[in-house]
A and B are shown apart, each in its own frame.
Chain A
Amino acid sequence: MSVESPEEQADVRGTGEVLLSVEELRTVFYTDKEVIRAVDGVSFDIHRGETVGIVGESGSGKSVTARSIMRLIESPGQILPESSIQFAGEELTEKTEKQMQGIRGGDVAMVFQDPLTSLNPVYSVGNQIKEALRLHQGMRGTQATQEAIDLLEAVGIPDAARRVEEYPHQFSGGMRQRAVIAMALACDPELLICDEPTTALDVTIQAQILDLLKSLQEDHGLAIMFITHDMGVIAEIADRVNVMYAGEIIENAPVVELFESPRHPYTEGLLSSIPGNNPSGDRLTTIEGEVPTPNEEATYCRFAPRCPKEFGECTSVHPVSVPVNADADDHTAACLLYPEDSSSAEAIERHQNAGGHTEVTNE
């Protein structure tokens, strides 16, 4: 999917090479009753220096995707063997746990949603930053302390020399998230995975954190994978957006393109249900029904039961990601209506032929 970008995206995509490439990622959870296909055949790329947003409702598989990249999936979860996660040319799915420990927090760092649970309450903030420095760079003593102070200053915590010895409970919510970001940056990562980093924060603090992430990206040339359910935040920070639904990426486009002309009926529905988009309208547009649990192989469109544009084949053909039309090499949608410039029958055949099958057996 790494192709020449149209002009508006050239400045972002043109220069950077592919840093992370996820191909056909499938992460399943085995339960007594059923097999939950939390991430079901997800493919996307992240280039150096760009911000890729992943947006979707709860249960769509956003966080599991992030955790799969970090190899933080624990039993009964499993990343299926056909999946490929290439980071800077290396295959992460084949790494041993020990090798992964060197990568986690080193080249790839992660910021979680709730800063209070990702900080240890019984160690000072400085100690926790120094832990990362010691593990990955072998830095100790006053040198490490000085580095920790510099990091806290870099993320905009005033009076860092005093703050470095304080404990998480002495920090406010926004400052805790800054400290977590400082920790993630400690080893100069190339990829920062942010899993809903501003969801627990107030808008004014959220604005500060987004601003901070943007300036850090400029300074360090970071690639950011940004997970959120807030379309407003995505519009603000992302260069490209992947929309997830029931374990699959159903649309992928540069951010401006996605907001201006969403193609997948789900994306359209999601955008029109935001209250801000129709301030004085009487009733909000809603999407009927609920997000399904992907517990069987998709031989149909998982959105079909809720889709306003659903037609006969939607229940029998599984849509794959295709360019929305012949000219769009940078905008894909997984919907039988696309490519929009080919006839309905052709489009359906294309989806049918492309649909691979994977067996998941309950062990």
Chain B
Amino acid sequence: MSEKTVSRQDAEATSAGVGETLVEVNDLKTYYEAGGLVDSNPVKAVDGVNFEIKRGETLGLVGESGCGKTTLGRTLVQLEQATDGEVLFDGTDVTKLSGEELKRWRRNTQIVFQDPESSLNDRMTIGEIIREPLDVHGVGTPQERREKVRNLLETVGLRPEHYYRYPHQFSGGQRQRIGIARALALEPEFIVLDEPVSALDVSVQAKILNLLEELQEEFGLTYLFIAHDLSVVRHICDRVVVMYLGNVMELGDTEEMFVDPANPYTHALLSAIPDPDPTSEKERIMLQGTPPSPRDPPSGCPFSTRCPMKIRPEKYREMDDELWTAIGIYRNVLRERSRADRSLTDQLRETLGMQTKFSDIEEIRTEVFGDLDMPAEVEQHIDESAAYVADNKESKALEYLQGEFGSVCDTEHPGDNVVSDTGRTSLCHRHLPEYEEPAEYSDVELKTTQG
């Protein structure tokens, strides 16, 4: 690798190259606590993602907490070690860099952290904080560095005399400006913004968003914008990646995705945003439960345990929606039980044939199914599975239910399907020709269930 590829190109080259690929991520995986000798069961924070970021664009990265978006952002700037896959910057795989090369490359990529309270050292002055990257990389003379810091302070809307103040003298919005100035100090091309406005009030948030847009125009920056607030993403991003449980569920043009989402998860996520209009009568898709543990993701589609549009086996296509949802909840309860730890006392009670907190399957049945009308056939399957649970064989019961009510969603990981002319992709079996598209399905079926 030559000096040329890793160091920052001059501004002209940057502006000339707008639109070409700057970052390419191929099958990237980041696991935590991997590499146990006997029983390796890592947390799959990022589990095989592919995307690219074009020069000069803002790519949004959204998802619920725990979906791996921060880990992905940190892996891109090499704050986390990738487990597998590659991250190409201008064609160089940076996951393989080390030592001097890595340090030189780091000048080119910076990160702005979420919490301006904890990302600034309280014992350093603002000037020292912003100058630190310049000192580390030995840029210019001390005199030049100080001058540069003063200019940076003005660039982000602070005053040069703030140089000698301490972080506690600033408000949240001003602190975030300091964090941005620090990220800009080395004139990077690429900045990861990890929830830069989540901790701020709306009126302050608006100012920071405007600042970020101005800086992008002025310096030709490329952003990866991580957020969970979708209205912010819609405002600032050119393209969006929707993540769920370490997987990219949908990837494509922002406006197109907000107007016409393809993936069932995107549908649900968008419908969950509270609309700042009390008269709006938006159809809301209420998701059941919480995302499963990334240590033990579902075997098929990552979203299959919560998906309201899951593909049903042929013979249950006409089943009552409420009953179908109840069966889903029932399976989730059993899945969680099979994972819960049994204490020693529980095991003892079991062997002695005493009541344990795990044995009240009948109660769960009444709780989940209530007085729902159940066809005899379905009832028989539930009985069968309940019998397994009563024997403390939850996994057997799950297998049984899987065989009866499962579909391709439970068994096969869906591929990326191209869903529009602009090359938007979505991870869902429903895009395959043999099934109904999520959009069609939701129009028909969901309106009836979400009363």
Q: Is the interface of B mostly helix, strand, loop or mixed?
A: helix
Q: Which of B40-48, B199-207, B314-322, B428-436 contacts A (4 or more CB under 8 A)?
A: B199-207
Is B278 a contact of A256 with CB atoms below 8 Å?
Answer: yes
Known: A204-B272, A229-B202. A161 touches B363 (CB 8 A): yes
Nearest CB of chain B from residue A201's CB, rounded to whole Å: 8
B99 on interface, CB distance cutoff 8 Å: no
Is B287 a contact of A231 with CB atoms below 8 Å?
Answer: no
A283 on interface, CB distance cutoff 8 Å: yes
Q: Which 3 A-B pairs have the closest CB atoms?
A: A232-B274, A276-B231, A275-B235
Is B273 a contact of A232 with CB atoms below 8 Å?
Answer: yes
Is B272 a contact of A206 with CB atoms below 8 Å?
Answer: yes
Binding site for A on B (CB under 8 A): 64-65, 171-173, 201-207, 209-210, 213, 228-232, 234-236, 255, 258, 268-269, 271-280, 284, 286-287, 289-290, 329, 332-333, 336-337, 340, 357-358, 360, 363-364, 367-368
Contact residue among A158, A206, A232 (Cβ-Cβ distance under 8 Å from B276)? A232
A314 on interface, CB distance cutoff 8 Å: no
- Give bound CA distance, A187 to B268, whole Å: 34
Nearest CB of chain A from residue B334's CB, rounded to whole Å: 9
A86 on interface, CB distance cutoff 8 Å: no
Is A204 a contact of B274 with CB atoms below 8 Å?
Answer: no
Complex A-B: 5 CB contacts under 8 Å: A162-B337, A235-B274, A259-B278, A280-B255, A283-B210
- Give bound CA distance, A171 to B367, whole Å: 20
Contact residue among A208, A277, A279 (Cβ-Cβ distance under 8 Å from B286)? A208
Q: Which of A106-114, A284-292, A315-323 contacts B (4 or more CB under 8 A)?
A: A284-292
- Residue on B with the closest CB to A175? B290
Is B210 a contact of A286 with CB atoms below 8 Å?
Answer: yes
Residues of B within 8 A of A290 (CB): 171, 173, 204
Residues of B within 8 A of A236 (CB): 274-275, 278
Is B364 a contact of A159 with CB atoms below 8 Å?
Answer: yes
Contact residue among A162, A203, A275 (Cβ-Cβ distance under 8 Å from B340)? A162
Which of B229, B271, B276, B368 lies at the interface centre, i.e. has the most chain A CB atoms within 10 A of its CB?
B276
Is B367 a contact of A153 with CB atoms below 8 Å?
Answer: yes
Nearest CB of chain A from residue B111's CB, rounded to whole Å: 22
Residues of B within 8 A of A211 (CB): 286
Residues of A within 8 A of B65 (CB): 173, 202
Nearest CB of chain B from residue A212's CB, rounded to whole Å: 10
Nearest CB of chain A from residue B230's CB, rounded to whole Å: 7
Is B235 a contact of A279 with CB atoms below 8 Å?
Answer: yes
Which of B205, B235, B357 lies at the interface centre, i.e. has the most chain A CB atoms within 10 A of its CB?
B235
Nearest CB of chain B from residue A264's CB, rounded to whole Å: 14
- Give bound CA distance, A285 to B258, whole Å: 22
Is B290 a contact of A174 with CB atoms below 8 Å?
Answer: yes
A334 on interface, CB distance cutoff 8 Å: no
Nearest CB of chain B from residue A289's CB, rounded to whole Å: 9
- Give bound CA distance, A2 to B276, whole Å: 27
Known: A158-B368, A275-B235, A276-B234. A207 touches B272 (CB 8 A): yes
A103 on interface, CB distance cutoff 8 Å: no
Contact residue among B206, B234, B284, B357 (Cβ-Cβ distance under 8 Å from A286)? B206
Proximity bits, A149-175, B CB within 8 Å = 1, else 0: 000010000111110010000001111
Which of B65, B209, B274, B284 lies at the interface centre, i.e. has the most chain A CB atoms within 10 A of its CB?
B274
Nearest CB of chain B from residue A354's CB, rounded to whole Å: 28
A274 on interface, CB distance cutoff 8 Å: yes
Is B232 a contact of A286 with CB atoms below 8 Å?
Answer: no
- Give bound CA distance, A271 to B202, whole Å: 9
